[in-house]
Amino acid sequence: MDTATELERVFTSCAHDCGGKCLLVAHVQDGRVVRVTADPEALRRYHLEPCVRGLHYERRAHHPDRLQRPLIRRGPRGSADFREASWDEALGLVAERLAAIRAESGPGALLCLGRTGSLGALLHETRLVSQRFFSLFGGYLGTTGNYSFGAASPATIHTYGTEKTGNSRSDWFRSRLLLLWGWDPMVTVMGSHTAWALRECRRRGIPIVAVDPRQSATATFADRWVPIRPGSDVALLNTLAHELLRNGWQDEAFLRRHTVGYEAYAAYLLGDDDGIPKTPEWQEPITGVPAETARWLAREYGTRRPAALMPGWAPQRSRQGEQFHRATAALAALAGSVGVPGGSAAGIDRGPGPEGEAALPVPPNPYPNTIPINRWTDCVLQAPGAGYPAQPRAAYIVGGNPLGQHPDARKTARALERLDLVVVHEQFLTPTARYADVLLPATTFLERDDIQRPYDGTGCFYVYQRQAIPPQGQARNDWDVFAELAERLGFGAAYTEGHDADGWLRWIAARAGVPDYEAFRRAGLHWTAPPAADGAPDGPQPSVAFQAQVEQGLPFPTPSGKIELYSPRLAERHDRLVPPIPRYLDLPEGPTDPLRARFPLQLLSPKSKRRTNSTLDNVLGDDRVVTLHPDDAARRGLQAGQRVRVWNERGACLVPLRISANLTPGVAVLLAGAWVQWDADQNDVGGCPNTLTSDAGTAWGRSSIQQTVLVEVAAAEA
């Protein structure tokens, strides 16, 4: 007799850092999610399109390798030699060790590494729950910046005074050209309706051009792909700006009214200050883009008004990072595209969607000192007198996998080995989890209720995330873990403020302006502004950043009240590597570095459509291969499928070879997010590109340079 219960449809949403926030339907039977689908109405009416990551999430929730119980280390760090423990023993040990380290060394010894495992969730976001705990515990050594857009953010703020530089996706329909630069939204999503908006642009006949070192999914979809050498983007952007000036395509009235530093930037472009005009011929040996192609692109952008220049975040993960976003903003200003319907201010491109206090509140950190996120391993490994504000002894890692996501994986492993205490909340035995002293099993988003808002402001709505299944094994919500730890350490009442998780969600919903919490739970969507007539979730009218400044003469939120093409704040630094205008600089491991004689290939590590950062690598996985152009493979006598060694002075990966003409010669591609796995000779056989990357950081904000890497590829020894 069949005793299976009927399928229950549970409306929920994906809580990972994939770039979208999509309404999903979990189909549940007998306490298990048997499949995940899109919500038909959200897909049809509002164009909220889930991707493969969320649509296969039942594989993660019910994976046989899920951590089921707390674990305590008994063998060497990294050996994954653990014993099972009760929650009482595990939390007792964590509380005891945290209290002892704080008493002995102060709050600067506590490194809070709450990362983006549940980004966008307003209660259970891993950064919020961990930072709230450590702030109330007396403080912690905080980190500044991030791996995603650590260069784009300060560059945009120094130019515009704000990160809110993005227009609604539906504003693209008023453009006459869409120029996507180093951006692959078909994979990285960046808004659940972005793919729909791109398809709608194509349907309406709006030309789409993609500038990218590889023919990504988006570049394949575009009308034209312009290949470019990695790390050379600023040179081509400056050439386009030069061509606008040379041909009189700049918006002189806009520049005089709304910018400062136009003359200084023009002098650089025309060669008045250094004797080198930034012509198409000048950029060709740097970028690999033929001069005629550069002229064509300048003409398209300079004469098809309005045009939307949409920079991605990949090019700013380079030694030219801040200069890239400064240069995109400068080009948009020269064209007069800022504040104009159908145009774009470029910059970091944060949208107009909801933000503010509708989230678990995090008190100010009582400990005043911080370090850049890319410097935490240096800080742990520092010698006396290295200049860091504190010596971390404990790392508390929630929703992150730094051994894989942080650059220079070998150095990261040494830092984890050096610490006195490593606590990790996880769902699987990731490379980082192998180094934990105490490993605590955490729930997935299918096992808890939460509220989410759109990624990066791309949409005017909130999404309810309903619990579909009970926690698997003994897994607990991160918020619950910290609430109990806080109770053990004497500040439980301060952490919870008398609320359980449901109470906090009701508190958050009220601050989000939700009039009926129960109706919101049932419907799954709450609109902060009505959707457009075509269902676009951007509001009834497309939003345009800085439209009020341009049309009403209001000041920009910069010290000068104008767009700062020349930044006096940067000029005060008197640093050649931090110029006040967006210059192209010859920097280490770039297109002209003499090191290319030894390591002639530029390594790229683009996002994978099957992973969210390193999440899902063990569930959906991806081909752990390195891709070379046919010319580069032939020059090395390599064949497709052959096992090869990808190496530089920092490490080596052993992976199979794929050959494809869909990338620029001189480029090697290893997809981001693979879990590092070392063999007996210390080669990574997992295909993790951070085995090869540097943590040096950009000159300005010490941000990620993980796309500025020189390597060589050769046949692996048998």
3 state SS of 257: helix
CB distance 530 to 540 below 8 Å: yes
The pLDDT tens digits of the residues spanning 495-540 come to 999 999 999 999 999 999 999 999 999 999 999 999 999 999 999 9
Sign of CA dihedral 156, 305, 169, 352: positive
> Across residues 2-11, what is the average pLDDT?
79
Q: Between vectors from CA 340 to CA 337 and to CA 344, what angle results, nearest 5°?
A: 50
CATH of the domain at 701: 2.40.40.20
Q: Between vectors from CA 514 to CA 511 and to CA 520, what angle results, nearest 5°?
A: 135
Whether pLDDT at 4 is above 80: no
The pLDDT tens digits of the residues spanning 537-560 come to 999 999 999 999 999 999 999 999
Same domain (yes/no): 138, 198: no
Whether pLDDT at 629 is above 90: yes
Nearest partner of 669 among 659, 677, 680, 681, judged by Cα: 659
Same domain (yes/no): 364, 335: no
In a domain, 432, yes or no: yes
In a domain, 569, yes or no: no
Position 293: which residue type?
T
Task: Identify any residues that bridge with 309 across adjacent strands, giving them in sequence order.
Answer: 179
Position 676: which residue type?
V
Q: What is the pLDDT of residue 5?
A: 76
Average pLDDT of the residues of the chain = 95
Give the span between the Cα atoms of 447 and 113, in whole angstroms: 23
Q: What is the pLDDT of residue 311?
A: 97
Q: What is the pLDDT of residue 546?
A: 98
Q: What percent of the chain has pLDDT over 70?
A: 99
The pLDDT tens digits of the residues spanning 148-164 come to 889 999 999 999 999 99
Same domain (yes/no): 517, 394: yes
Residue 576 burial (CB count, 10 A): 9
Same domain (yes/no): 275, 342: yes
Final residue belonging to a domain, choices 490, 523, 556 = 523
Beta-carbon contacts of 301 under 8 Å, excluding residues fewer than 6 positions away, are 177, 179, 240, 244, 307, 309, 331, 335
HEC letters along 406-463:
CCCHHHHHHHHHHCCEEEEEECCCCCCHHHCCEEEEECCHHHCCEEECCHHHCCCEEE
Same domain (yes/no): 499, 384: yes
Q: What is the pLDDT of residue 2?
A: 52
pTM over 0.75: yes
Q: DSSP states of 291-305 as a string?
A: HHHHHHHHHHHHHSS
Euclidean distance between the first and the last CA atom of the chain, given in angstroms as a whole number: 56
Beta-carbon contacts of 559 under 8 Å, excluding residues fewer than 6 positions away, are 161, 568, 569
Whether pLDDT at 257 is above 90: yes
In a domain, 534, yes or no: no
In the structure encoding, which two tokens stand for residue 278, read together?
A: 């930034």
CATH of the domain at 438: 3.40.50.740
* Residue 620 banded pLDDT, cuts 50, 70, 90: confident
Same domain (yes/no): 209, 116: no
Give the span between the Cα atoms of 347 and 312, in whole angstroms: 9
Give the span between the Cα atoms of 98 and 553, in whole angstroms: 54
In a domain, 228, yes or no: yes
Same domain (yes/no): 337, 416: no
Same domain (yes/no): 216, 309: yes
In a domain, 181, yes or no: yes
Nearest partner of 689 among 570, 593, 568, 603, judged by Cα: 603
Q: Between vectors from CA 394 to CA 390 and to CA 396, what angle results, nearest 5°?
A: 120
The pLDDT tens digits of the residues spanning 414-471 come to 999 999 999 999 999 999 999 999 999 999 999 999 999 998 889 999 999 999 999 9
CA 157 to centroid of chain Cα atoms: 18
Eight-class DSSP state of 201: H
Final residue belonging to a domain, choices 495, 523, 551 = 523
Q: What is the pLDDT of residue 1?
A: 42
Q: What is the pLDDT of residue 699?
A: 87
* Residue 3 banded pLDDT, cuts 50, 70, 90: low
Same domain (yes/no): 178, 310: yes
Final residue belonging to a domain, choices 523, 553, 579 = 523
> Across residues 88-108, what is the average pLDDT?
98
Position 360: which residue type?
L
Task: Identify any residues that bridge with 643 across adjacent strands, giving them in sequence order.
Answer: 656
In a domain, 235, yes or no: yes
Whether pLDDT at 399 is above 50: yes
In the structure encoding, which two tokens stand for residue 477, read together?
A: 């919500």
Same domain (yes/no): 301, 413: no
In a domain, 687, yes or no: yes
CB distance 597 to 589 below 8 Å: no
In a domain, 613, yes or no: yes
Residue numbers of the domain that contains 612 = 594-715
Same domain (yes/no): 701, 608: yes
CATH of the domain at 205: 3.40.228.10
CA 9 to centroid of chain Cα atoms: 31
**Token match 């030309």: residue?**
207
Sign of CA dihedral 116, 669, 288, 224: negative
Same domain (yes/no): 305, 367: no
Q: Looking at the 3D structure of the chain, how many domains does it have? A: 3
Q: What percent of the chain has pLDDT over 90?
A: 88
